[in-house]
Structure 1
Amino acid sequence: MDGDSFQQWKNQCLNKCDFSKKGSVDEDISHVVSFINSQDRYFTTSSCSGRIILFDAVSDCPDVQKQNCSWLFVTHQKCQMEDVVRNHIVRGLEKSVGDATFKFEPFVLHVQCKQLEDAQLLHTVAINSGFRNSGITVGKKGKIIMAVRSTHCLEVPLSHRSHVLVTHQYLDFLVGVANQKMEENLKRIQRFSECLQAALQPQEEKCSFKEADNKTVYRRRRKRTQDVSVTDSSQNTQEHHENTEEEIDCDLLFLL
């Protein structure tokens, strides 16, 4: 891809308004997004740190689109069990006029890459961090998009035609499962962030780290060699002492 075209796309994307419902980058991934956008070869096009949502959709509609849904509850953090179940989710279900669905959606990140090998590097980092559903797409205009995705989702229908199908006890259980998935999601985000920084650190730093590792290995080897030398010396001294004692004993026997 031409460098000027990529930089132009990057400037346009990063300078445009955020049209998401929240209107800003989620706090738990702001450091990841900032780091990627600081790189010459990448920029983010969309992101979500992960969320727990309750939405209401039109009954008997085969295609559930965002514009046809009413969001009854959403959080990008773990749910507080008592507060959510007794207030937000229950009240949300009471407002449902169609089919209410409870969902957990994990971290998702879309990154435009300058070259295919840049996308492949990012893909490797994502897979190794636990985001096994990640993939690369190449558009007709040459845009290379790397999507960081995971598979540990959760989607459960709670009502049909405004009729609630589950008990409060089951809602408690669902919230607990969603919270566990959110915890695992945050761990994977942290792992992804650490692996990404290690993969994209400047070559000079990699060389310095490698030299430091080599020096450490050399010091360990030298110490091991010294320890072996000391051990051998001690063994030789002991053997010499034993041999001397044997010679003295032999001399005494000869004199007797």
Structure 2
Amino acid sequence: MSLDGFTLRKKAILIALNSDTPDKSPKGYVDEPLLPLIVLINNHKDYVTTSSCSGRICTYLEGLDEEAQGAGADHHDEDEEDGVVRGYDENTSLAAVEAAKRAKGGQWLYVSHDPVVFPEHSIQDQRWIVDLLFGPEAHRVVLMEDSAHSDTRTLDMARSQLVYFKFEPMILHIESSTPAAAKTFLNHSLFSGYRNSGILPSVKRTMLAIRSTLKLDAPIAYIPSTARSASGTQSSASGSRDEAGKIHLMVSLTYLRVLIELSNDKFRMNVAQMGRFEKRLTEHLLEDESAGEKKKVGDQGEWEDKEARRERKRKEGLQKQEMAAMAKAEDDARKAAAAAEEEKETSLDHN
């Protein structure tokens, strides 16, 4: 691993952060609540932030890889329109289903980096929750009590295309100049409550992921599979098209409200944790760097490690103790000589 390589990468990252050009994130810029922490970290010579998120509430419609499903699914009508959700054979494992879903990107329906503000009429009319969480796809949503698929088996739901509600706390990816520096930062992170943090395996770079345990992730809706009807026979083409346009809630609106309230609480915990983290880094990490710059050098002018510095300090302490003992002994000897001389003079006076 080359320090020169780290220095060059850090320089390029800092130039990009200070420019007006949008970054690669969906927002195009760093989350404002993270700015003080990012500046603090990037001002340290051993670290540079590579990506970050201050925390967010979001809903995500997972993707589907239709080619991956084709091997296990029955033949479909040739006139099915694009976008119809394909079904899986009865013996398709859930692991294979999940792998197929991950193979193709999904759609973010809602993303907010701030707590949700409840409207005044939120208790009387909770339909606003659907409009909020499903965004442009809200018109496709069928409430749980209105769904004709309310008796659908749980296994069938798991094999369908799912919508997830998520709360994701702050996450930081940081490159470190050395493994030792990474371990130091990781210790401060763990002490600050970021228990899911760790050093990422990499041959070329030393990377850190700083994460907490405040995450919330729950499936809330699904798009029914239309390749088969409930009896196992193929559904009609028109029926498939109708079902393909619907997103069925598998939970109540009251439950969605609970998820939002929980996430708002986690937002507050997330912000407080970020504050404690910033305080610790300010008091310890930068202090460590300052102490490292001011520490004494060895006899040959080389920088000392902690063990060498501790040994030098021990020897210096012993030397000071010896010098103090010698000075005390000399002082005691002078006092004894003066006392003897005074006693001698007193004896002569009496004679």
Q: TM-score range by the shorter chain?
A: 0.7 to 0.9
Alpha-carbon deviation of 1:188?
0.8
From 199, 202, 206, give the equivalent of 1:144: 206
Counterpart CA distance in 2 for 1:20 and 1:193 is 23
Q: 2-side partners of 1:65 and 1:49: how far apart? A: 25
> What is aligned with 1:154?
216
* Residue in 2 that maps onto 1:37: 42
Query: Considering only CA atoms, is the larger Rg found in Structure 1 or Structure 2?
Result: 2
Mark the CA change 1:87 to 1:113 in structure 2 (over 3 Å): closer, same or farther: same
* C-alpha distance in 1 between matches for 2:161 and 2:103: 14
Are residues 1:71 and 2:156 paired?
Answer: no
CA offsets 1:120-162 (integer angstroms, 9 cap, x no match): 1110111111100100124112x11111011221111111112
Aligned residue in 2 for 1:122: 185
SS state at 1:78 partner: coil
1:89 maps to 2:89:
no
C-alpha change, 1:49 and 1:165, in structure 2 (3 Å) is same
Instruction: Describe the SS at the equivalent of 1:201.
Output: helix
Tell me the amino acid that sits aligned with residue 133 of structure 2: I
Q: Residue 105 of structure 1 corresponds to which residue in structure 2? A: 168
Q: Return the alpha-carbon distance in structure 1 between the equivalents of residues 51 and 200 of structure 2.
A: 15
1:24-47 CA-to-partner distances (Å, cap 9, x unmatched) read 110111111111111111100110
Partner of residue 80, structure 2:
none
In structure 2, list runs of 5 or more residues that go unmatched.
17-21, 65-86, 88-96, 123-127, 142-159, 224-246, 293-351
| Letter of the structure 2 residue corresponding to residue 152 of structure 1 | L
Distance in 1 between residues matched to 2:182 and 2:118, nearest whole Å: 40
The answer to whether the 8 Å contact 1:93/1:100 transfers is no
Cα 1:153–1:46 change in 2 (3 A) is: same
Give the distance between the partners of 1:204 and 1:137, measured in 2 at CA: 23
Are the aligned partners of 2:59 and 2:111 in contact in 1 as well (CA < 8 Å)? yes
Output the CA distance in 2 between the equivalents of 1:8 and 1:38: 15
Structural RMSD (CA)? 2.6
**Structure 2 Cα separation of the partners of residues 6 and 29 of structure 1:** 23
Structure 2 counterpart SS, 1:62: helix
Number of the residue aligned with 2:144: none
Deviation per CA, 1:81-107, whole angstroms, max 9, x where unpaired? 337626312655444694211100111
CA displacement, residues 44-66 of structure 1 (integer Å, 9 cap, x when unaligned): 01100110001112367514549
- Any conservation in 2 of the 1:132–1:149 contact (CA below 8 Å)? yes
How many correspondences in the alignment? 206
1:165 correspondence with 2:202: no
Q: Secondary structure at the match of 1:172?
A: helix
Note if contact 2:58-2:133 (Cα within 8 Å) is conserved in structure 1.
no
CA gap of 1:150–1:204, structure 2 versus 1, over 3 A, is closer
2:12 paired with 1:12: yes
SS of structure 1 residue aligned to 2:98: coil
**Equivalent pairs: percent with the same residue?**
31
Q: Which residue of 1 aligns with 2:98?
A: 62
* SS in structure 2 of the partner of residue 35 of structure 1: helix
In 2, are the aligned partners of 1:49 and 1:106 still within 8 Å (CA)? yes
Verify: 1:22 aligned to 2:27, yes or no.
yes
In structure 2, what is the Cα distance between the partners aligned to 1:66 and 1:18? 25
Moved more, 45-54 or 1-10: 1-10
- Whole-angstrom distance in 2 between the partners of 1:90 and 1:133: 29
Is the 1:93–1:164 Cα contact (8 Å) retained in structure 2?
Answer: no
Structure showing the higher helix proportion among its residues: 1
Cross-structure match for 1:181: 266
SS of aligned partner of 1:146: strand
Asked whether the equivalents of residues 81 and 175 of structure 1 are also in contact (C-alpha less than 8 Å), the reply is no
Superposed, 1:48-59 pairs within 5 Å as 48-58=53-63
Report the Cα offset of residue 8 of structure 1. Answer: 1.0
TM-score where L is the length of structure 1: 0.72
Which residue of 2 is the match for residue 131 of structure 1?
A: 194
